[in-house]
């Protein structure tokens, strides 16, 4: 029985349906102290004084922790060192944390935090990309430009000269809040010169580094364990490093465990969001519909600190023209600091934004050329042997055309004929994308991951891996892949909670990299264990190793058909003191990339997708209803098809929210859409019927041929919806969210 | 916070003798988010839910009297409401989610006096009267005399809302709500139309709209025009004299006005096409 | 005492008597005092359904109710849904249909599903979606949750 490709039931589902899973805030409170953040209510200014005398007199007050209590460095910037752990001189956004109040109960900590008086001399803030770029004096940091990337390839001048048609358009995408259901939280347990952290998080190794640096203790003295995590979507990539490091400072000083869980309002105001982009696309094309040249400017609102902007900006730049051949390009991608909460990782990581740009311009070009949008895309789409926009030669697993082909076949029966008397307009929209798997050239040094596989005496196998389960189904696919690799069944695999003590630094749980990274590490570990299992089986069965087949939890002598169970093998290994465990490791192969020009191998492989949506626009109200999504995804190989569908259904739902209803708003830097009655994420009634279409174009470097799906699921959705609304109404929609008000205004004008 | 839960109306009135400052609690679905958002807890909280006299629905040949504690779910399941007061029944269907409907009450929705309160618009358009009681007196007053401003009601100290009285008629009715999401959304605009047609003309017509003024308002100008000529094309100038919408986090005043015009036109056209 | 009150409630079939602060929310009573942590807090304002419990036979948001209001009532939480060694049909369906991702909304979803099935075992997909509108999930896009409740 194959374990791969089977819709194995999620191994964490039983506990979850019983309500028994212990999320961080569900753990028994063993006399923890509780912390609450004290943060700036002003978007930009200089701190004049911090007075906590009123707080001190509150009976439950334990301590006020701030920059002065840091024994290491007051720095938590993950890529660029621009972010103090506790602001001590300048505050740069509403929510910039100045200190923590530690008290005996969480509610009291929060109440006391309000009593800390902070005097700030206000500076005039920058909220938009334009304001930030155009600033001439007083910058958020040394300059207002946080980071930039570029791709320069071919010669755009010649390309545009040869073009029969050149289109220029501007596109805008909006900020989005993750709204993972479990808020951020962690507990720090101090032990003499060591610190253990437990938290709701995506990247234990980021936290380990941040805490070590801030406390001034060696990396190995910091242990980080992940508690079951109630959703993350990128929102728990870098932000938990801040929470953990702050709480660790308090725990180190006080010598007692300190716990902090953000309230929903703190979480919304203080933590990262999706970068709003503004994009300028100028694309030249021949009469026959061949892409010739593109000049693209991507500008990103980074918020107050750079956090992950540099890699978001990199990914958007590398993928700026999508899964198409285009010989001449000039892409610049720039992130600007503003006085808003830092924008960071959110499912897709710059890709949904760039895809909005390239897929809108592809549709506009097709219309102007009078070519069917499917045909126009097909003409230019990448296949094996082609070079990407960055000049990377693709040698395998390019299922782009198949996704487009398979999705577009589904719409043939859906010819739209809008009736002038109806108050609904219907439309169909297409969007295709590619997604570079794992961290790419910009993050290559971090792009390795490990596992530790142990065969237990009782015949079970335990697996520790360095990436995390955050809802996406990581544990289940890791169990399936381990079972497949060792010839056992998934039922006997036990997954350990992710911790920094079991495996080496495996990088972040991001970039849709779990299946690829952990899967390959599992295969690496199995290469070491399988010969031992075969040898032992041969010994017990008294035959040649070549005749041994291990499958389905049995080792069989193929000649005699004699069998022994995996439990017997495990028992034998332990009894004879033989090797029962193995550490597996995999690192992404070297990438030939030139960072000056932004050309070469940006990522080692790509997932591809085409989503086609059908929408209905209400002419009376401007409300857009997404009726159906055909989502075709080339993922190399589906490890767990039902789990994969679940990713696509969830990703498209988030895409619908981002495109239509999630209208996050700030007023003078303060979030005003703080709750679910103002920040409208989709309910069961707002999602579409989704048909997931799998394309399995095997990737030789992927485990069992697999590539990532987590992010591709959301990437094309918003662009496809905008294309569909544009087609339905005959008006170009180049900005999201397409709220009822925005849509009505455009169709009535 | 002192918590009281009297078991009868007389117990409640005795309590009023001894307590001056109090907050009344029924379903709590509006009160509790307020506390969550920083409204200080009251010194005295009086929970009316144990007073069974306040949750009865009584029907006579002329009218229906709905106890203030009737929940939205109970309204929705009531056959008399379904039969005679379709607009109200529609409003219960579009009211938040199941969990809220199981707690929220008609009395709470009235006393909360939100300009976008979904039950209010149909109640106004059916000519609802409120029965208000004090220890030694009662009065029956049209709903519009009691709701004065957003969150403000003209109840005297020691007075409570006992029930809502709706006259039974042979009028047809409808309720339309626009939220920014299909469900669990606060009204950006809503309206109710109660009408009776005689051939092509309206014999009775009342149109009320919510979320376009400080309280639910009657679209009198439009009513008059439609009574004269039911086929009139509805334009903004026919509703502007009666509404005063605001721009807020959900929508601009312009959008509210525009959508109200569009949706009214659509419904009135549909009513005209009905035989 | 002014700010506290003794209450007696039956939770998951077990009679419980406690003296609690009057301002304590039912949600906090269940999670902190009774240590039944399956009930979750997400929005705290009745918009998400994660804190759903069954109170006197009806599904409600426990964040919108003071614990003192429930004196004398019967309450079921997610912990009371499964029989000793047997999952409820809805719980079983959630596992079979891959309806679970991060799991934070799931206790509320299971209770909502139980209520929908109790009210009408043959609810259509549209009816199920309408009745699930008060339960927010950020992971699944709801399809597999609706599948589990519909179970066709």
Average pLDDT over residues A344-357: 98
Q: Say yes or no to pLDDT of C83 above 90.
A: no
Q: Which two tokens stand for residue C98?
A: 């891959």
- Same domain? For A685 and A550 the reply is no
State the pLDDT at residue B182. Answer: 83
Average pLDDT over residues A56-62: 95
User: In order of start, what are the domains of chain C with their CATH numbers?
Assistant: 4-78 (3.10.20.30), 89-149 (1.10.150.120)
Put simply, whether B99 touches C (Cβ < 8 Å) is yes
Q: Three-class SS of residue A481?
A: helix
> pLDDT (tens digit, 9 = 90+) per residue, A465-512?
999 999 999 999 999 999 999 999 999 999 999 999 999 999 999 999
- Same domain? For A50 and A192 the reply is yes
State the pLDDT at residue A418. Answer: 79
- Same domain? For A547 and A603 the reply is no
The long-range contacts involving C143-146, CB below 8 angstroms and separated by at least 24 positions, are: C143/A649, C143/A687, C143/A689, C143/A690, C144/A642, C144/A645, C144/A646, C144/A649, C144/C97, C144/C98, C144/C99, C145/A684, C145/C94, C145/C97, C145/C99, C145/C109, C145/C113, C146/A684
In a domain, A172, yes or no: no
State the pLDDT at residue A350. Answer: 98
- Phi, psi (degrees; rounded to nearest 5) at C89: -60, -40
CB-nearest to A19 from C47, C98, C107 is C107
Buried b (16+ CB within 10 A) or exposed e, A225-239: bbbbbbbbbbbbbbb
**Hey, which bits of chain C come out as E strands?**
4-11, 14-21, 52-55, 58-61, 74-76
Residues of A with CB below 8 A from C143's CB? 649, 687, 689-690
- Same domain? For A371 and A395 the reply is yes
Pick from A207, A227, A261: which residue ends a domain? A261
Q: Three-class SS of residue A689?
A: strand
CA distance A63 to A250: 8
Q: How far is B262 from chain A (nearest CA, A)?
A: 5
Do B100 and C46 lie within an 8 Å CB cutoff? yes
pTM of this prediction exceeds 0.90: yes
Residue C110 buriedness (CB in 10 A; 0-12 / 13-18 / 19+) = buried
Pick from A552, A587, A622: which residue ends a domain? A587
Q: How far is B97 from chain C (nearest CA, A)?
A: 4
Q: Three-class SS of residue A46?
A: strand
Band (A421; pLDDT cuts 50, 70, 90): confident
Enter the ipTM.
Answer: 0.98
* Contact criterion met (CB below 8 Å) for B121 and B105: no
- Same domain? For A682 and A719 the reply is yes
Nearest-CA residue of chain B relative to C49? B99
- Same domain? For A335 and A424 the reply is yes
> pLDDT (tens digit, 9 = 90+) per residue, A173-186?
999 999 999 999 99
Q: How far is A212 from chain C (nearest CA, A)?
A: 29
Put simply, whether A12 touches C (Cβ < 8 Å) is yes
* Contact criterion met (CB below 8 Å) for A632 and A715: no
The DSSP bridge pattern shows strands C4-11 and A185-191 to be unpaired
In a mutational test of the C interface, the residue from B99, B100, B101, B183 whose CB has the highest number of chain C CBs within 10 Å is: B99
Put simply, whether B7 touches C (Cβ < 8 Å) is no
Put simply, whether C42 touches B (Cβ < 8 Å) is no
> pLDDT (tens digit, 9 = 90+) per residue, B189-247?
999 999 999 989 999 999 999 999 999 999 999 999 999 999 999 999 999 999 999 99
Residues of A with CB below 8 A from B182's CB? 625, 683, 685-686
In a domain, A114, yes or no: yes
Average pLDDT over residues A347-357: 98
* Contact criterion met (CB below 8 Å) for B177 and B162: no
In a domain, A476, yes or no: yes
In a domain, A703, yes or no: yes
The DSSP bridge pattern shows strands A448-455 and A581-587 to be antiparallel
What is the 3-class SS of A618-634, one letter each residue? ECCCCCEEEEEEEEEEE
CA distance A464 to A201: 16
CB-nearest to B97 from C58, C63, C133 is C133
Q: How far is C104 from chain B (nearest CA, A)?
A: 18
* Contact criterion met (CB below 8 Å) for A348 and A434: no
In a domain, A85, yes or no: yes
Nearest-CA residue of chain C relative to A642? C98
* Contact criterion met (CB below 8 Å) for B218 and A699: no
In residues, how long is chain C? 152
Band (B275; pLDDT cuts 50, 70, 90): low
> pLDDT (tens digit, 9 = 90+) per residue, C44-63?
999 999 999 999 999 999 99
Q: Say yes or no to pLDDT of A596 above 60.
A: yes
Residues of C with CB below 8 A from B45's CB? 22, 66
| Interacting residues of B166 by C-beta distance below 8 A, sequence separation 6+ | B63, B64, B66, B84, B85, B88, B123, B126, B127, B128
A691 beta partners: A630
Put simply, whether C64 touches A (Cβ < 8 Å) is no
Band (A413; pLDDT cuts 50, 70, 90): low
Q: Say yes or no to pLDDT of C2 above 80.
A: no
Nearest-CA residue of chain B relative to C62? B99
Residues of A with CB below 8 A from C150's CB? none
State the pLDDT at residue A400. Answer: 98
C72 beta partners: none
| Cβ-based neighbour number of residue A25 at 10 Å | 20
Q: Say yes or no to pLDDT of A30 above 90.
A: no
| Interacting residues of A122 by C-beta distance below 8 A, sequence separation 6+ | A42, A44, A45
- Picking from B36, B89, B43, the residue whose alpha carbon sits closest to that of residue B64 is B89
In a domain, A396, yes or no: yes
Put simply, whether A681 touches C (Cβ < 8 Å) is yes
* Contact criterion met (CB below 8 Å) for A383 and A342: no
How confident is the prediction for chain B on average, in pLDDT? 96
Average pLDDT over residues C2-14: 95
In a domain, A138, yes or no: no
In a domain, A685, yes or no: yes
Residues of C with CB below 8 A from B104's CB? none
Band (A85; pLDDT cuts 50, 70, 90): very high
Put simply, whether A561 touches B (Cβ < 8 Å) is no
Band (A727; pLDDT cuts 50, 70, 90): very high
Put simply, whether A385 touches C (Cβ < 8 Å) is no
CATH number for the domain harbouring residue A498 = 3.30.365.10
Do C101 and A684 lie within an 8 Å CB cutoff? no
Average pLDDT over residues B176-181: 94
In a mutational test of the A interface, the residue from C79, C94, C109, C138 whose CB has the highest number of chain A CBs within 10 Å is: C138
Instruction: Give the domain extent around A369.
Output: 277-441+594-748
Q: Say yes or no to pLDDT of A682 above 70.
A: yes
CA distance A495 to A207: 21
Do C69 and B5 lie within an 8 Å CB cutoff? yes
Q: Which two tokens stand for residue C126?
A: 């549209």
Q: Element (H or E) spanning B205, and its range?
A: strand B201-210
- Same domain? For A219 and A204 the reply is yes
Do B99 and C52 lie within an 8 Å CB cutoff? yes
Number of domains in chain A: 3
> pLDDT (tens digit, 9 = 90+) per residue, A500-531?
999 999 999 999 999 999 999 999 999 999 99
Pick from A562, A587, A612: which residue ends a domain? A587
> pLDDT (tens digit, 9 = 90+) per residue, B90-129?
999 999 999 999 999 999 999 999 999 999 999 999 999 9
How confident is the prediction for chain C on average, in pLDDT? 96
- Same domain? For A435 and A456 the reply is no
Put simply, whether B155 touches A (Cβ < 8 Å) is no
Torsion of CA A594, A597, A602, A606, to 10 degrees: -150
> pLDDT (tens digit, 9 = 90+) per residue, A113-133?
999 999 999 999 999 999 999
Put simply, whether C46 touches B (Cβ < 8 Å) is yes
- Same domain? For A580 and A603 the reply is no
Q: Say yes or no to pLDDT of A638 above 70.
A: yes
- Considering only residues 205 to 224 of chain B, which have any Cβ-Cβ distance to chain C shorter than 8 Å? none
Q: How far is A43 from chain B (nearest CA, A)?
A: 20
CB-nearest to C60 from B1, B49, B103 is B103
- Same domain? For A606 and A574 the reply is no
- Picking from A682, B180, A274, A352, the residue whose alpha carbon sits closest to that of residue C138 is A682
Do B102 and C69 lie within an 8 Å CB cutoff? no
State the pLDDT at residue C152. Answer: 66
Do B180 and A744 lie within an 8 Å CB cutoff? no
Residues of C with CB below 8 A from A230's CB? 40, 102-104
Residues of A with CB below 8 A from B262's CB? 619-621
State the pLDDT at residue C140. Answer: 98
Band (A221; pLDDT cuts 50, 70, 90): very high
Band (A422; pLDDT cuts 50, 70, 90): confident
How confident is the prediction for chain A on average, in pLDDT? 97
Q: Three-class SS of residue B221?
A: helix
Band (A96; pLDDT cuts 50, 70, 90): very high
Contacting partners of chain A (3+ CB pairs under 8 A): B, C
Q: Element (H or E) spanning A256, and its range?
A: none
Put simply, whether A740 touches B (Cβ < 8 Å) is yes
Nearest-CA residue of chain A relative to B266? A620
Q: Say yes or no to pLDDT of A415 above 90.
A: no
- Same domain? For A304 and A415 the reply is yes
Put simply, whether B263 touches A (Cβ < 8 Å) is yes
- Picking from B207, B205, B216, B206, the residue whose alpha carbon sits closest to that of residue B245 is B216
- Same domain? For A282 and A252 the reply is no
State the pLDDT at residue A432. Answer: 98
- Picking from B134, B137, B182, B177, the residue whose alpha carbon sits closest to that of residue B158 is B134
Put simply, whether A621 touches B (Cβ < 8 Å) is yes
């Amino acid at each position: 029985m194959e374990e791969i490709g089977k819709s194995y039931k999620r191994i964490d589902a039983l506990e979850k349906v019983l309500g028994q899973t212990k999320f961080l805030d569900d753990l028994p409170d063993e006399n923890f102290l509780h912390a609450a953040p004290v943060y700036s209510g002003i978007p930009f200014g200089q701190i004049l004084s911090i007075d906590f005398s009123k707080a001190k007199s509150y009976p439950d007050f334990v301590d006020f922790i701030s920059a002065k209590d840091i024994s290491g460095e007051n720095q938590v910037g993950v890529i660029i060192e621009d972010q103090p752990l506790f602001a001590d001189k300048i505050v740069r956004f509403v929510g910039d944390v100045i200190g923590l109040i530690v008290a005996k109960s969480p509610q009291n900590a929060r109440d006391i935090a309000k009593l800390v008086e902070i005097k700030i001399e206000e500076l005039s803030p920058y909220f938009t990309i334009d304001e930030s770029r155009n600033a001439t004096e007083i910058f958020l940091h040394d300059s207002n430009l946080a980071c930039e990337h570029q791709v320069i390839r071919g010669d755009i001048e010649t390309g545009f000269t040869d073009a029969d048609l050149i289109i220029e358009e501007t596109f805008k995408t909006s900020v989005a809040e993750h709204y993972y259901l479990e808020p951020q939280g962690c507990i720090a347990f101090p032990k003499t010169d060591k610190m253990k952290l437990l938290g709701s998080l995506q990247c234990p190794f980021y936290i380990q580094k941040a805490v070590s640096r801030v406390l001034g203790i060696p990396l190995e003295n910091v242990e980080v364990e992940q508690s079951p995590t109630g959703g993350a979507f990128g929102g728990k990539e870098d932000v938990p490093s801040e929470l953990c490091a702050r709480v660790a400072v308090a725990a180190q000083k006080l010598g007692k465990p300190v716990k902090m869980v953000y309230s929903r309002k703190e979480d919304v105001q203080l933590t990262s969001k999706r970068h709003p982009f503004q994009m300028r696309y100028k694309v030249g094309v021949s009469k026959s519909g061949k892409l010739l040249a593109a000049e693209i400017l991507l500008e990103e609102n980074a918020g107050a600190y750079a956090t992950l902007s540099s890699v978001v900006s990199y990914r958007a730049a590398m993928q700026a023209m999508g899964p198409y051949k285009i010989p001449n390009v000039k892409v610049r991608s720039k992130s600007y600091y503003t006085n808003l909460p830092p924008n960071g990782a959110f499912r897709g990581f710059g890709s949904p934004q760039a895809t909005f740009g390239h897929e809108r311009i592809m549709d506009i070009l097709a219309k102007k050329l009078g070519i069917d949008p499917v045909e126009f895309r097909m003409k230019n789409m990448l296949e094996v042997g082609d070079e990407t926009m960055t000049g990377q030669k693709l040698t395998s697993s390019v299922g782009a055309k198949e996704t487009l082909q398979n999705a577009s076949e589904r719409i043939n029966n859906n010819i739209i004929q809008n009736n002038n008397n109806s108050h609904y307009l219907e439309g169909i929209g297409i969007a295709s994308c590619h997604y570079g798997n794992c961290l790419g050239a910009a993050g290559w040094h971090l792009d390795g991951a490990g596992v530790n596989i142990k065969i237990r005496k009782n015949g079970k196998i335990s697996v520790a891996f360095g990436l995390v389960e955050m809802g996406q189904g990581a544990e289940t696919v890791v169990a399936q892949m381990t079972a497949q690799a060792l010839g056992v069944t998934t039922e006997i695999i036990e997954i350990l909670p992710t911790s920094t003590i079991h495996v080496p630094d495996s990088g972040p749980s991001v970039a849709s990299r779990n299946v690829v990274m952990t899967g390959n590490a599992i295969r690496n570990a199995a290469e070491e264990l399988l010969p031992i299992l075969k040898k032992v089986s041969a010994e017990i069965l008294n035959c040649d190793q070549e005749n041994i087949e291990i499958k389905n939890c049995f080792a069989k002598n193929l000649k005699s058909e004699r069998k022994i169970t995996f439990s017997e093998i495990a028992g034998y290994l332990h009894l004879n003191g033989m090797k029962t465990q193995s550490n597996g490791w995999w690192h992404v192969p070297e990438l030939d990339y030139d960072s000056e020009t932004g050309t070469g191998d940006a990522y080692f492989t790509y997932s591809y997708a085409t989503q086609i949506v059908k929408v209905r626009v209400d002419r009376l109200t401007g409300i857009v209803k997404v009726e159906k999504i055909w989502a075709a995804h080339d993922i190399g190989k589906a490890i767990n098809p039902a789990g994969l569908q679940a990713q696509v259904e969830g990703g498209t739902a988030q895409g619908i929210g981002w495109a239509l209803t999630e209208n996050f708003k700030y007023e003078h830097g303060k979030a005003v859409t703080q709750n679910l009655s103002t920040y409208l994420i989709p309910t069961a009634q707002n999602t579409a019927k989704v048909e997931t279409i799998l394309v399995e174009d095997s990737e030789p470097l992927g485990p069992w041929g697999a590539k990532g799906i987590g992010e591709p699921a959301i990437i094309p959705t918003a662009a496809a919806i905008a294309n569909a609304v544009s087609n339905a109404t005959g008006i170009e929609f180049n900005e999201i969210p397409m709220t009822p008000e925005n849509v009505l205004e455009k169709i009535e004008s | 916070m002192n918590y009281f839960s009297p078991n009868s109306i007389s117990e409640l009135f005795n309590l009023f003798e001894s307590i001056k400052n109090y907050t009344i609690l029924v379903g709590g679905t509006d009160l509790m988010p307020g506390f969550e958002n920083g409204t200080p807890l009251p010194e005295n909280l009086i929970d009316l839910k144990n007073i069974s006299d306040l949750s009865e629905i009584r029907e006579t040949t002329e009218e229906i009297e709905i106890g203030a504690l009737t929940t939205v779910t109970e309204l929705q399941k009531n056959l008399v409401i379904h039969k005679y007061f379709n607009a109200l029944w529609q409003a219960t269907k579009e009211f938040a989610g199941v969990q809220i409907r199981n707690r929220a009450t008609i009395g709470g929705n009235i006393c909360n006096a939100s300009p976008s309160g979904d039950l209010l618009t149909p109640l106004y358009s059916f000519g609802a009267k409120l029965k208000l009681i004090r220890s030694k007196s009662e009065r029956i007053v049209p709903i519009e005399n009691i709701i004065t401003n957003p969150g403000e009601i003209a109840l005297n100290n020691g007075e409570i809302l006992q029930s809502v009285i709706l006259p039974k008629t042979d009028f047809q009715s409808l309720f339309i709500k626009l939220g920014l999401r299909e469900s669990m959304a606060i009204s950006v605009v809503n309206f109710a139309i109660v009408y009776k047609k005689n051939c092509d003309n309206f014999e009775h017509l009342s149109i009320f709209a919510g979320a376009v003024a400080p309280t639910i308002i009657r679209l009198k100008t439009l009513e008059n025009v439609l009574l004269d000529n039911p086929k009139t094309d509805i334009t903004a100038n026919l509703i502007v004299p009666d509404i005063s919408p605001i721009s807020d986090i959900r929508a601009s005043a312009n959008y509210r006005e525009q959508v109200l015009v569009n949706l009214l036109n659509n419904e009135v056209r549909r009513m005209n096409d009905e035989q | 005492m002014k700010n506290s009150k003794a209450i007696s409630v039956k939770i998951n079939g077990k009679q419980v008597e406690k003296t609690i602060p009057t301002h304590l929310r039912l949600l906090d009573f269940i999670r902190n005092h009774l240590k039944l942590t399956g009930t979750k807090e997400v929005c705290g304002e009745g918009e998400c359904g994660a804190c759903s419990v069954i109170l006197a036979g009806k599904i409600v948001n426990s964040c919108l109710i003071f614990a003192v209001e429930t004196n004398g009532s019967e309450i079921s939480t997610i912990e009371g849904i499964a029989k000793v060694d047997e999952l409820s049909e809805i719980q079983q369906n959630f596992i079979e249909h891959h309806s679970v991702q991060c799991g934070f909304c799931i206790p509320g979803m299971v209770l909502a599903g139980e209520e929908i099935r109790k009210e009408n075992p043959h609810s259509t997909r549209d009816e199920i979606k309408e009745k699930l509108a008060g339960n927010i999930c950020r992971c699944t896009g709801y399809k597999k949750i609706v599948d589990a409740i519909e179970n066709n």
